[in-house]
Every structure is written in structure tokens, then in C-alpha cells.
Amino acid sequence: MAPERRGKGPAPRPLALTGARLLDPASGRDAPGGLLVVDGRIADLGPGIYGDGLAPEFERIDCAGHCLAPGLVDIRTQLREPGEEHKETIATASAASPASSSSPGAPARPGVPRSIATAR
């Protein structure tokens, strides 16, 4: 049985993303490794995180070399307001952003911050 969190129901299952290419332009990181998510927050990351040796309660996802980055921003968005709202609006673009929905093709995972997404 999952531990209860005050007012929020059961805690999400811990998650281990392994076999990723870790990218972080702010720190200059570009290395293979993994990331641990506990209670919906990043608990650890680095080259020493592998599926072997993790506690059995961790859900494991093999990223198969996909990139794992702290966040990516499309600096060339075209919101089409004013004048071409039939193509895109601030509301539709915001609803489609990774912060408000899962990445295309990626299944939603309860307890995983939506800012965590993998891409090739």
C-alpha cells in the first residue's frame, strides 16, 4: 500500500529514468546517466544512476539514449495574435505547451513533473 500524503492521496511511485543523455546547458553537462523522481520531485541525477541496484519500488524507464534536459523553450513560437487567430492563439498555444500537457507521443505518468520529457 502506498504511503499517504496529507490532503493529496497516495504518494506517486518513485521513478528512475535510466540510459539517458543528460543535457544541461547551464552547467555544461552532456553525459550519459539517469534521473530519479521521488514524490514528484527530482531526487538525484547523474552518470551513476542505473536500473541495477535501485530499490524494488522504483518504476524504471529505459530512455534508450534519448535526451533528458531541464527544459526546452521554442524561441520561435508564432501565436498569431492579433490577426490570424484561426491559426493559433495565446490560449491554444499555452494549452499545447509541455508545461500544460504531456509531450507528443509520451504517455502521461502520474507523479512525474510534466517538464520531464525525453527527445532524440
Give the DSSP H/E element, type plus range, for residue 31.
Answer: strand 29-38
- Give domain status of residue 59, yes or no: yes
pLDDT (tens, 9 = 90+) of the chain, 120 residues, equals 445 555 566 778 899 999 999 998 888 999 999 999 998 889 999 888 887 788 889 999 999 999 998 876 667 777 777 877 777 887 887 777 655 444 444 444 444 444 444 444
Rounded distance, CA 115 to CA 42, Å? 11
Residue 91: inside a domain: no
Range of the domain at 59: 4-75+107-119
Q: Residue 98's closest CA among 75, 114, 77? A: 114
- Indicate which CATH number applies to the domain containing 9: 2.30.40.10
User: Does residue 70 form part of some domain?
Assistant: yes
Confirm whether 101 is domain-assigned.
no
- In a domain, residue 113? The reply is yes
Considering its fold, how many domains does the chain have in total?
Answer: 1
Alpha-carbon distance 39 to 82, whole Å? 41
Is residue 11, in this structure, part of any structural domain at all? yes
Is residue 82 a part of any domain in this protein? no
Examine residue 38 and state whether it is found in any structural domain, yes or no.
Answer: yes
